[in-house]
Amino acid sequence: MIRLRGVRKRYTTAKLVNEVLKGIDLDIADGEFVAIVGRSGSGKTTLLNIVGALDTDFEGSVEVGDRDLRKLDDASISDYRNRNIGFVFQSFHLLEHMTCIENITLPSLFARGEGLLDKAAAVARAEEVLREVDLLDKRDALPSTLSGGQKQRVAIARALFQKPKLMICDEPTGNLDSSTAQAILALFRRLNEDHGITLVIVTHDDMISQACRRVVRIDDGLIVEGGGEFASRKPALAPTPESRAHDRAADDGKPDPAVPVMEATP
Amino acid sequence: MRAARLFRLALDDLKRNRKHFLLASIGIVVGIAAFTFFLGLGGGVRKVVLGKIFPLDKIEVVPKSFDVDVSMLRVPLANEIIDDEKVAQLRAIPNVVAVYPKMKLTIPSMVWGGAKLFGNNLRAELIADGVEPELVAPDIDSSYRFADFEPGLAKWDDWKTLPIATACETDKQCRSEHDDDQLYCWGSDELASWRDKVEKAEKKGKAPPERPDVEALCRYYIPILVSENIVELYNGSVRRAHGFPKINPDSAMGFTFDLTFGASMVDSSARDRTVEAKGILVGVSDKAINLGMTMPVGYVRRLNVEFNEAADANKYHSAVIQVGSKDDVAAVALAVKELELDVTDTGAEQAALLITIFMMVFGFVSIVIVGIAAVNIMHVFFMLIYERQREIGIMRAVGASRRDIRRIILGEAAIVGAIAGLVGVLMAFGAGDIFDWISAAYIPDFPFKPKT
């Protein structure tokens, strides 16, 4: 269980203070498949970074089990990320000078204690996850020789390498065509259903958000839909045509079509 | 993160960003090379100036002189002698490690020889002094010994009673018989010359000349040291005036010559007799007399007694005091003055100050260069970190701590620094060798030309 309470995040410059998150309360249960949606600048990625323990400079608390992430030092939180969280990004974020297998074994370089694998074991595990994403034949290929879908599958394989409990995905299909996006979505579903991995996905893609069991909508730093809901069932709050129109209009810089905004959860 | 993994990762990054690192390393190479070169040059100059020209851990003391000028003459009124009692007092001064008394040869003497080297035998007035062999031990060529081989003799000619003084015909015979290369056959030249004359007389049917009253015996050469000044004086001036060859002092070791004591080109001694010996060059030393020859003090003592008076055995003209530390020199100098002796003014302190300033300027220049290099390296690394933000972000996402990232960056910097530093040091050594070669080839000879 991930429990966020009163999470506020400000970016301060010399001239202005921009409050991106204005008090987020959110519970994500183990095994959930959650989409976070909202228009650009609403705070989705910031929230994702906080949930993924990439950003610990915020007000409020984020508890994972009985641990408060804000109270962990950098080494402990890095270890937590290494063992428990897999990240998937829109632009894949593969290291171009490394082969697929080297990219996938990258987390093993920073593993500590029980997570530490010798080289042979790391390669064996990398081959296992490559098989999982059906890319074993590309083990020694450089990312530059792969298609977008293949790159994203390598990124997913890297995220799976340490057998994470949570996968954080930031627009994972944003750079993919629709058929590839569907394949990636199918992979996410399988990981969620077969392996019980909790998936938190920031997306603008309706297909993804509709497939998620729960949708959390953010607007102007507040959760306006789906906050605090436990969603082991089909989402009660799927995005409506109006809300999607609102997001798209905001992304395109057009006037707000006046979709009613829900109150933030207390 | 394990060190081996860190090293591998850092090495991979270096390969990938080699152009950047090459640029960064140029600064380090230049900085370290300049720093090492100037340090070497400064050290070389310091070593020569303070070690040889003005040795600060050794001070030379002389009797206090009080002279009165009478017309063209300068009349000494004080006793210009250091005796055994004074030497003992000097040895008792705190922080004095050793006292090496020096005795001047006070009889007219000549040196002649050198036909093999110069084409003709040369004859020159001999000015000589004697030192304790321990004082000059480090300056003796490894093939030779600098010692009094005829110690404890009451009379000069008593050397003929030594066990080594066996009858001989040639130098070679002495050397093989006694297995010692510092021996020669004394008197063999005179006998060989007599034999030539006999042969010639017999050919001409004349009466042969009478055999000289000489008994050829094996004897040790007197080991001789000269100063670097005399070598430079010869190579710089004397040889030019006479068209003689330039001498390499290292190869001149073992050069032998004849010595005549009791008479010179200027005057003869009051005793109206002379003694002969042969000398052999065994070293070049900054502790040797500036113009003349230096031999073990025992020979000088016996000659002075032989031609003057017995009391001369105890009359030294100066003494070299070795001080434990350079810091103690001032206190020892003060104590010396209380014994009615003077410290020769070598200008050592001024030289030391000059060298310190010289080193500071070079050091400052080097530090500025290294500082500029450091800023350059810092700039390159900042640029690299900026360019690699995405990569660092990925590493952070997969579990790298700030410490891991810091270690990777510092590991890369350490590898670049170590390699560039090594190259810089090697370049400095190369530059030093080139500088030495240029100074040897183009800078005019002068005593104690320093090496980097």
Please state the ipTM of this predicted complex.
Answer: 0.81
**Under a CB-based contact definition with an 8 Å cutoff, are residues B322 and B58 in contact?**
yes
Whether B398 sits inside 8 A of A95 (CB atoms) is no
Whether A109 sits inside 8 A of B390 (CB atoms) is no
Q: Read off the pLDDT of residues B278-314 as tens digits, 9 standing for 90 and up.
A: 999 999 988 888 889 999 999 999 999 988 888 888 8
Distance of alpha carbon B409 from alpha carbon B232, whole angstroms:
56
Domain check: are B282 and B192 in the same one?
A: yes
Minimum mean pLDDT among A97-106, A205-214, A241-250: which range? Answer: A241-250
- In this complex, which of B396, B403, B404 lies closest to A54 when CB atoms are compared? B396
Give the tokens for residue B122.
Answer: 């040369």
- In this complex, which of B390, B393, B399 lies closest to A107 when CB atoms are compared? B399
Domain check: are B377 and B240 in the same one?
A: no
- In this complex, which of A74, A94, A95 lies closest to B401 when CB atoms are compared? A74
CA angle B42, B45, B51 (to 5 degrees): 125
Instruction: Give every strand in the sheet of B256-261, ordered side by side.
Output: B122-125, B109-113, B256-261, B275-284, B222-226, B293-296, B128-131, B96-104, B318-323, B58-63, B341-343
- The amino acid at residue A203 is T
* B170 against B58, higher pLDDT: B170
Residue B167, pLDDT score? 92
Domain check: are B410 and B290 in the same one?
A: no
The reply to whether B136 falls in a domain is yes
Residues in chain A within 8 Å Cβ distance of B397? 52, 54, 81, 87, 93
**How confident is residue A234, by pLDDT bands cut at 50, 70 and 90?**
very low
Domain check: are B23 and B172 in the same one?
A: no
Within 8 A by CB and 6+ apart from B186, the residues are B216, B217, B218, B219, B276, B277, B278
CA B242 centroid distance within chain = 27
Give the tokens for residue B56.
Answer: 């600060």
Q: Read off the pLDDT of residues B189-205 as tens digits, 9 standing for 90 and up.
A: 888 888 899 999 988 88
Nearest to A173 by CA among A117, A89, A50, A70: A89
CA distances, A214 to each of A28, A115, A202, B262, B449 (Å): 10, 31, 12, 122, 88
**Under a CB-based contact definition with an 8 Å cutoff, are residues B188 and B216 in contact?**
yes
Minimum mean pLDDT among A73-82, B19-28, B189-198, B211-220: which range? Answer: B19-28
Residues in chain B within 8 Å Cβ distance of A93? 390, 393-394, 397
pLDDT at B446 exceeding the cut of 50: yes
Domain check: are B131 and B216 in the same one?
A: yes
Domain check: are B141 and B15 in the same one?
A: no
Domain check: are B49 and B128 in the same one?
A: no
Strand A198-202 and strand B275-284: the pairing is unpaired
The residue with tokens 């000659």 is B303
Nearest to A50 by CA among A264, A233, A221, A246: A221
* Domain ranges across chain A: 2-95+164-251
**How confident is residue A113, by pLDDT bands cut at 50, 70 and 90?**
confident
Closest CA of chain A from B423, distance in Å? 28
The reply to whether B166 falls in a domain is yes
CA angle B130, B132, B136 (to 5 degrees): 95
pLDDT at A17 exceeding the cut of 50: yes
Domain check: are B30 and B172 in the same one?
A: no
- Classified as helix, coil or strand, A62 is strand
Mean local confidence (pLDDT), A145-172? 93
**Under a CB-based contact definition with an 8 Å cutoff, are residues A184 and A167 in contact?**
no
What domain range is B117 assigned to? Answer: 107-307
Closest CA of chain B from A81, distance in Å? 5
- In this complex, which of B9, B390, B397 lies closest to A54 when CB atoms are compared? B397
Q: Read off the pLDDT of residues B69-128 as tens digits, 9 standing for 90 and up.
A: 777 787 776 666 888 888 999 999 998 999 999 999 999 999 998 887 777 788 889 999
Residue B264, pLDDT score? 84
Distance of alpha carbon B294 from alpha carbon B225, whole angstroms:
5
Domain check: are B111 and B173 in the same one?
A: yes
| Average pLDDT for chain A | 84
CA A173 centroid distance within chain = 12
Report CA torsion sign: A76, A82, A85, A89.
positive
| Average pLDDT for chain B | 84
Residue of B11, B15, B398, B402 to mutate when probing chain A, most A C-beta within 10 A: B398
Whether A109 sits inside 8 A of B397 (CB atoms) is no
The reply to whether B98 falls in a domain is no
Closest CA of chain A from B397, distance in Å? 7
Domain check: are B173 and B227 in the same one?
A: yes
Q: Which residue of chain B has the CA closest to A73?
A: B401
Residues in chain B within 8 Å Cβ distance of A90? none
Residues in chain A within 8 Å Cβ distance of B399? 78-79, 81-83, 107, 110-111, 162
Nearest to B122 by CA among B130, B113, B132: B113
User: Given its phi and psi angles, is residue A214 left (phi above 0), alpha (psi -120 to 50 degrees) or beta?
Assistant: beta
The reply to whether B230 falls in a domain is yes
Closest CA of chain A from B395, distance in Å? 8
**Under a CB-based contact definition with an 8 Å cutoff, are residues B209 and B194 in contact?**
yes
Q: Which residue of chain B has the CA closest to A98?
A: B12
CA B395 centroid distance within chain = 62
CA distances, A21 to each of A8, A24, A50, B261, B369 (Å): 5, 7, 11, 108, 50
Strand B256-261 and strand B109-113: the pairing is antiparallel
Within 8 A by CB and 6+ apart from B415, the residues are B7, B10, B11, B14
pLDDT at B136 exceeding the cut of 60: yes
Query: pTM for the whole thing?
Result: 0.55
| Burial of A41: CB neighbours in 10 Å, binned 0-12, 13-18, 19+ | middle
Share of chain A above pLDDT 70, in %: 85
The reply to whether B399 falls in a domain is yes
Task: Please state the φ and ψ torsions of residue B111, each to the nearest 5 degrees.
Answer: -125, 140
Q: Which one of B307, B332, B363 terminates a domain?
A: B307
Closest CA of chain B from A232, distance in Å? 27
Q: Give the total number of structural domains in chain B.
A: 2
Closest CA of chain A from B433, distance in Å? 43
CATH class of A2-95+164-251: alpha beta
**How confident is residue B53, by pLDDT bands cut at 50, 70 and 90?**
low
pLDDT at A50 exceeding the cut of 90: yes
Whether B402 sits inside 8 A of A74 (CB atoms) is yes
Whether B398 sits inside 8 A of A83 (CB atoms) is no
Q: How far apart are the first and last CA of chain B?
A: 44
pLDDT at B66 exceeding the cut of 80: no
How many residue contacts between A and B have a Cβ separation below 8 Å? 53
Give the tokens for residue B161.
Answer: 């009673």
The reply to whether B421 falls in a domain is yes
10 Å Cβ neighbour count for A124?
11
Q: Which residue of chain A has the CA closest to B2?
A: A109
Domain check: are B273 and B158 in the same one?
A: yes
The reply to whether B87 falls in a domain is no
Residue B123, pLDDT score? 87
Distance of alpha carbon A186 from alpha carbon B362, whole angstroms:
71
- In this complex, which of A94, A97, A162 lies closest to B16 when CB atoms are compared? A97
Give the tokens for residue A185.
Answer: 């979505």
- Classified as helix, coil or strand, A88 is strand
The reply to whether B71 falls in a domain is no
- In this complex, which of B9, B16, B397 lies closest to A81 when CB atoms are compared? B397
Three-class HEC string of chain B: CCHHHHHHHHHHHHHHCHHHHHHHHHHHHHHHHHHHHHHHHHHHHHHHHHHHHCCCCEEEEEECCCEEEECCEEEECCCCCECHHHHHHHHCCCCEEEEEEEEECCCCEEEEECHHHHCCCEEEECCEEEECHHHHHHHECCCCCCCCCCCCCCCHHHHHHCCCCCECCCHHHHHHHHCCCCEEEECHHHHHHHHHHHHHHHHHCCCCCCCCCCCCEEEECEEEEECHHHHHHHHHHHHHHHCCCCCCCCCCCCCEEEEEECECCCCECCCCCCEEEEEEEEEECCCCCCCCEEEEHHHHHHHHHHHCCHHHHHCECEEEEEECCHHHHHHHHHHHHHCCEEECCCCHHHHHHHHHHHHHHHHHHHHHHHHHHHHHHHHHHHHHHHHCHHHHHHHHHCCCCHHHHHHHHHHHHHHHHHHHHHHHHHHHHHHHHHHHHHHHHHCCCCCCCCCC
Domain check: are B162 and B298 in the same one?
A: yes
Q: Residues in chain A whose beta carbon is closer than 8 A to a beta carbon of chain B?
A: 52, 54, 74-75, 78-79, 81-83, 87, 93-95, 97, 106-107, 109-111, 158, 162
Residues in chain A within 8 Å Cβ distance of B395? 106, 110
Residue A265, pLDDT score? 36
Q: Residues in chain B whose beta carbon is closer than 8 A to a beta carbon of chain A?
A: 1, 5, 9, 12, 16, 390-391, 393-404
Q: Which one of B244, B273, B307 terminates a domain?
A: B307
Whether B401 sits inside 8 A of A107 (CB atoms) is no
Whether B401 sits inside 8 A of A75 (CB atoms) is yes
Residues in chain B within 8 Å Cβ distance of A107? 398-399
Distance of alpha carbon A262 from alpha carbon A243, whole angstroms:
11
Distance of alpha carbon B435 from alpha carbon B441, whole angstroms:
10
Q: Which one of B287, B307, B327 terminates a domain?
A: B307
Q: Which residue of chain A has the CA closest to B405?
A: A110
Closest CA of chain B from A52, distance in Å? 9
- In this complex, which of A54, A83, A110 lies closest to B404 when CB atoms are compared? A110
